[in-house]
Each structure stands twice: as structure tokens, then as C-alpha cells.
Amino acid sequence: MLWFRRKPKGTPPMTVQNRQVKLASRPVGVATRENFSFETAPMPAPADGEVLIKVLYLSLDPAMRGWMNEAKSYIPPVQLGQVMRAGGVGEVVESRSPAFKPGDFVVGMTGVQEYAVLKAEHLTRADPNFAPLPAWLGVLGMPGMTAYFGLLDVGALKDGDTVVVSGATGAVGQVVGQIARIKGCKVVGIAGGPDKCRMAVDEFGYDACVDYKAEDVRKRLRDLCPNGIDVYFDNVGGDILDAALANLARGARVVICGAISQYNTTTGMKGPSNYMSLLVNRARMEGFIVFDFAARYGEAAKAMARWIAEGKLKHREDVEEGGVDAFVETLNKLFTGENVGKLVLKVQA
């Protein structure tokens, strides 16, 4: 980054470069650095109604791996040569919209780059006085909304339900578990390793946690949920989904939020084999996309902010250093379980 001279606060930076990460080829299996090009581009300029944002933190999400594929999905794939799609939080440095002024903090789909120009109507505000900026990409952002609507609407949570959550300490999972506890339910987590299981219980208030790397998940769920699982919130798919299906209560709701165990497969996704449990238990399994609830984000954000202020909802972010050049290696931590909480990449100070 080349800075020519300091300018007064609130005016665009005198930089000539914008570091960007573009998709160069479609990964097969785990994404590698070779699938991306790391480039410098001229500083973008906002047009009427647009805002120039200095990107401070990027949200790294499991879904990004799917966006790299050619396949038809709920959102078009990132095209080869395009800046990699990503949510981010940053500071407004120039605004050509009355909605924002320099110095405001905003959340939007900035992409994996140091500066982004976005339409003002596609941005929401972040308030660093209420919660640190990375939390606006986690509990107060898309993963928090996913947890709220996935559990309460899709999962149709009821008093007295027994809830099981896979990916229990992750960005979505940690919020699902805590909302279920706030609602007075019994909550069992599934996570990888003793440290994450301890965190699930001690930090996020799960009643118990199954270490899927060391324990027989199907048997442990049977012991921990003797009356069956009423809501299974699935973040991981694969064998863990099957183990949960084998332990459903009558009228159970299985919420398909994601299937991270399958995102890097090169041999085809592994589907559930225990699906007849849905018939036996008059249960339902339903997938959802958080964006379909966009009109109601305000409701969830209000509830989340209230629970945080009351000390009922904790949040943990895993902020990694390295700037946009560290994008690929940092993203891959999601698939090895190296992230502890919402994975965020710090782009610049």
C-alpha cells in the first residue's frame, strides 16, 4: 500500500492501490493458493448513491467453498477472475450517499479486498461501542441471524424440547445452543475435541457435549437424550447427521443448516441413510437459507442485542491476522476445526 501523505480525517485516503484476491480456477477438494490470484488494483471511486469502504475485517464462512464451484446453488457462483465474494465490516472513507458519512462503520458484501465500493442500500451499520467490530460479522451478523431463524422458525422450538446442535462452538452453533438455553430447553452439543466440548459446557451453557472425534456419537446421544431429540440443528452432515437421525423423538424437527463435513468432497456428498427415522417418528427435515429471512433481521438483531446486554448471550470470535493475502490458509481452518468461534480475518488496522 502506497501512502503519499496524510489527509485530514474523513477524506479519502491518498492510496494508489487496492489489494484484491480473485478466483483464478475452481478448486477440486480443498481450495489452495493456486486457485486464486493476488493482485493490486487502482483505488475504486464511488458513484452517486455509493460508498467507499476501507475493509477492516472479513467474515470467513464455510459457504465460501461452495461459491467457488460452478454448480447451481442459492446464489450464483463466483466467476473466474472476480474478486472472491465475502462479507466484511469496514469504515466509510468517502460517501456519495446521504445515508452514510466518513467515519461510519458498515457491514456489507465487500469481497476479499482492502477497499470496496458498495451501494448504500446494501449496507448496514455496525456500532463498535456496543460490540467489537468482528462480532458484527458473527453473533450480530449473518451467523447470528442463521441461528435465530434456523432454531426458532425452521426448528419451531417449543418449551421443554431437547435440542442437539452439531458444530456446537462455531459461529452459528454457539448462538443456537445459547438461544435454546435462554428458552429453557435441554441442549446437547457435538464438537471436535475435549477443549471445544469443555468450552461448549463452561462458556456457552450446553448441558453436555459429545466429542465426535473420540466418542460413539449415536450411543452418547442415546444416553444423553433418553426421550429422543426434539430439534436437531445440523451444521455438519455426514455420519453425525445419521447418528442424530437414529435418536429422534416423535414429531422431531431436523434443521439442515449446513453440511461442512461434505464441502470439500471429491467423491460426492454422503447423504443420510437413517432417513426412515423421519417416517417412524413422524418427523420433518427442512433446509433453509438465512437470506430468506432478511425482512425480519431487525427482530433477530434486537433480541440478540438484548440478550448480550443482559449477559445471557456470549460470543466468541477467532480473529486471525495476515490481511487478504492470508485468505486461503485462514479459510481452510474452518474445515480442519482450527477455528475457535466465528472466524474473522483482520484486513488492516
Ligand X SMILES: NC(=O)c1ccc[n+]([C@@H]2O[C@H](COP(=O)([O-])OP(=O)(O)OC[C@H]3O[C@@H](n4cnc5c(N)ncnc54)[C@H](OP(=O)(O)O)[C@@H]3O)[C@@H](O)[C@H]2O)c1
List, in sequence order, every beta strand (DSSP E) within 96-239. Answer: 105-108, 115-119, 124-125, 162-166, 186-191, 208-211, 229-234
DSSP 269: P
Give dist(CA 244, CA 216) in Å, integer.
11
Chain residues that interact with ligand X, rule: CB under 6 A: 61-63, 143, 146, 167, 170-173, 191-192, 196, 235-236, 240, 257-261, 288-290, 334-335, 337, 339, 342-343
Q: How far is the CB of 214 from ligand X (least distance, A)?
A: 12
Q: Which is nearer to ligand X, 51 or 179 (CB)?
A: 179
DSSP, res 85: P
Q: Of 155, 174, 142, 179, which is closest to residue 63 (Cα–Cα)?
A: 142
Q: How far is the CB of 153 from ligand X (least distance, A)?
A: 12
- Tracing cell 456519495 back to the chain, one arrives at 96
Shortest separation between residue 89's beta carbon and ligand X, angstroms: 15
Q: In the complex with ligand X, which residue's Cβ is closer, 131 or 210?
A: 210
Least CB distance to ligand X at residue 339 (A): 5
Note whether 46 and 52 are within 8 A (CB): yes
**For residue 22, what is the enclosing H or E element?**
strand 18-23
Helix (H, G, I), strand (E, B) or coil at 160: coil
Of 51 and 180, the one with the shorter C-beta distance to ligand X is: 180
Report the nearest approach of ligand X to the CB of residue 158 (Å): 21
Q: Which is closer to ligand X, CB of 109 or CB of 280? A: 109
Question: Which is nearer to ligand X, 19 or 315 (by Cβ)?
Answer: 315
